[in-house]
Amino acid sequence: MSADRSHDGEDAPRAEEDSLGGTAASPIGVGKDKDGEVETHVRSLTSWPARVFAACGIAISLFHIWANIDGRISTLWLVGIHFAGFAFLACLRYPLKIGRFVAPLWLDAVTGAVIAGATLFIIGSETAIYAQGVHLSPEHWVAAILVILGAIELTRRTTGPIIPVLIVLALSYVSFLGAYAPGVFRFAGLSYETVLFRSIFADEGMFGTIGRISASFVFMFILFGAFLVRSGAGDFIIDFARALAGRLVGGPGFVAVFASGLTGTISGSAVANTVSTGVITIPLMKKSGFPPRFAAGVEAAASTGGQLMPPIMGAGAFVMASNTQIPYLDIVAVATLPAIAYFLTVAFFVRIEAKKHHIVGVDNESRSAWEVLKAGGPAFLVPVATLIGLLIYGFTPVYAAGWAILSVVAASWLTKNRMGPKAILEALALGAQNMIMTAVLLIAVGLIVNVIAMTGIGNTFSLMIADWAGGNLLIALLLIALASLVLGMGLPVTAAYIVLATLSAPALQGMIENGYLVDLLTSGTLPEAARGPFLLADPEAMTKLAAPMSREAANAFIAAAPAEVLRLVHGQALDPALITAALLSAHMIIFWLSQDSNVTPPVCLTAFAAAAIARTPHMATGMTAWKLAKGLYIVPILFAYTPFLHGSVPEVLLVFAQAVIGSYAVGAAFEGYMEAPLAWPLRILAGVAGVVVLWPGLPVATAIGAAMTFALLLWTIRLDRRGRTAEALA
């Protein structure tokens, strides 16, 4: 793997980003990559340093297992030790590099030890600090500054300069820059001592809620994924995908989609997904006749779905569960069909491209699907079934992950890859290695979230979004998508979700709840108790509410009501289940939109990793991947306007059908092809049909659009058969 990974250039260190069990970054040296294009920033560890690194990783993994199972260690100590351990590993793994200077290993080891020591000292001084009236002594000042600077520097080494710049700006804003900000962004500022104290000890700070998620849910699932990888589940996924899809028309492309989908069930990292499956699927697609750029785009787009695919979604899903207080199992349950819909949108492009270029399946050199399933299935199916079963029975995700890890070891003995003590230790070390970037990132992001909480800027930003959108949900979605795209140019996916959700989720939730209110107003079923608050803003409200309104009048009535009044009405008029649905929909929309940085130029790490494997131009590959990943924008619209996440089973299946049929029609319009070429009039018709199917709230139009799509499909199937018959007779 190391040779393949070295192709990634600047992207190689980012391959661990948000990983929930993906393939670990191979130890590659600091210097030029294979093509001499860019410098990599991951230190190669061999001999005794490698053994020290592995031993530390094993110790850290064992500590986390004990702490999460025992459950009696305080959050502060759990997260503090979590950061201290991974700060030390990060210094060993990612060297200090300034210009051409690369720090020697001993200097980075000392740096890591200092950061770890300062962390343990400051959290151990909590009682003393409170005893001093929440005042920091000189040694506490030094330790706190070292911890914060350490988090900033390690984030710079692992993810680049954007997050450190944001942290510095955030800390400057809350301490002194806010006093110079104009208008609603003006903030008087807090003392440096208060900023330092809250950065360390506040619930929203470095060692607070997000850090606890990192040290518990995220790490345990990363460890679970590492055990699966070490047990051979990754090889099983590739073999099983080839056995199932290899002989289909465009089979190699379907292998990439299917393998990435299965890998997504155990890995929440798009980049790790790409480099682990892409080294097999991309050459396979190229060999069968797919254009290299398209092959790389398919792998990038499919791998992006890894963070959307239950049961192990990206780290952001655990943050979502904590922020919304919605059980992780509930999030996983409602996320399954949307994730499948996304993978189908990519598969449609594969099918269309295969028909365009007359690409058939490849000879299946592997065993049959049943043989593959018998040989390697237990290593994958038993642990995943254990995890899902325990979640369904109500156990916590951490507890379920712990037992799932044990089941990996047990299930491996049903295969040829039996995990003995050595393999278990290697999996423990691999889990710690895969966690380094995520741990440092989530701890550091706590500094930004803490500033947002302290200053109230999140509420201000939400009000601004609502004002700019004019109460229009679609415009708000476009604004958030644009903000996500801009943030994604510099932030990893998880960080982009956390920042964007903190700033915009309340506004988005409020607009979705307003949509529910509009339904009540148009049906004339607004509860009497909810009508009173409207009188605060409109003395004639009772007259207007006396009879059902038209949708236009209801939208105007809601738009004219102040936000404070609407908040009161939401609580009185809407069922709590609907409010929860609006909350989940808002966060899920942002979670999906935050994935676009993987495939959207100019910065699209997943597409760049695929391009490195396929040997294609980076930007051109990014544009192709962006086109293939259109589901990232289609499905969130359905979250906002339909009961996709909270409806009954028939309602959810109907929306799923809308997503699938509409996506296929839109994809055909983009490509000008279904089973045969589409002339421009038919191409336009396909686009109109797709939009009509996806447009919410118009059931008759949806049915007409679906009928148009199927009619076009049957017509092109007929044309395709005619063409093949003519070729056979020629």
Range ranked top by mean pLDDT from 285-294, 360-369, 640-649: 640-649
Indicate the domain borders of the chain: 2-161, 456-589, 648-730
Closest by CA position to 646, among listed 570, 581, 587, 584: 581
Confidence grade of residue 17 (pLDDT, cut at 50, 70, 90): very low
pLDDT in the model for residue 536: 78
Retrieve residue 677's tokens.
């070429």
For residue 485, pLDDT over 90 is answered with: no
pLDDT in the model for residue 366: 56
pLDDT in the model for residue 12: 34
Confidence grade of residue 13 (pLDDT, cut at 50, 70, 90): very low
* pLDDT tens-digit map of 531-561: 888 887 778 878 888 888 888 888 888 888 8
* Three-state SS at 101: strand
* Three-state SS at 616: coil
What lies within 8 Å, CB to CB, of 597 at 6+ separation is 484, 485, 487, 488, 489, 491, 492, 493, 496, 603, 604, 605
For residue 87, pLDDT over 80 is answered with: yes
Q: Is 524 left (phi over 0), alpha (psi -120 to 50) or beta?
A: left
* Three-state SS at 40: strand
Q: What average pLDDT does this structure show over 289-305? A: 90
Give the Å distances, CA to CA, from 216 to 78, 188, 383, 684: 9, 36, 19, 51
pLDDT in the model for residue 19: 39
* pLDDT tens-digit map of 641-693: 999 999 999 999 999 999 999 999 999 999 999 989 999 999 999 999 999 99
Retrieve residue 697's tokens.
């709230």
Taking all residues of the chain, what is their mean pLDDT, rounded to a whole number? 84
pLDDT in the model for residue 71: 78
Closest by CA position to 320, among listed 447, 505, 488: 505
pLDDT in the model for residue 359: 79
Determine the straight-line distance between the first and last CA of the chain, rounded to whole angstroms. Answer: 48
**Partners of 102 in beta bridges:** 97
* pLDDT tens-digit map of 26-66: 333 333 333 333 334 788 888 899 999 999 999 999 999 99
Torsion on CA atoms 334, 340, 341, 346, rounded to nearest 10: 150
Closest by CA position to 382, among listed 390, 394, 370, 371: 390
Q: What average pLDDT does this structure show over 583-611? A: 86
pLDDT in the model for residue 364: 53
What lies within 8 Å, CB to CB, of 358 at 6+ separation is 289
Least confident of 34-38, 409-413, 447-451, 659-663: 34-38
**Partners of 677 in beta bridges:** 673
* pLDDT tens-digit map of 366-383: 567 777 777 777 778 888
pLDDT in the model for residue 592: 93
Cα separation of 18 and 28, whole Å?
20
Burial 486-496 (b: 16+ CB within 10 A, else e): ebbebbbbbbb
For residue 24, pLDDT over 50 is answered with: no
Q: What angle do CA 692, 722, 708 make, to 5 degrees?
A: 10
Retrieve residue 600's tokens.
């959207």
- Which single residue is written with the structure tokens 């939400």? 462
Residues in the chain: 730
Neighbours of 356 (CB within 10 A): 16
Least confident of 107-121, 334-348, 462-476, 567-581: 462-476
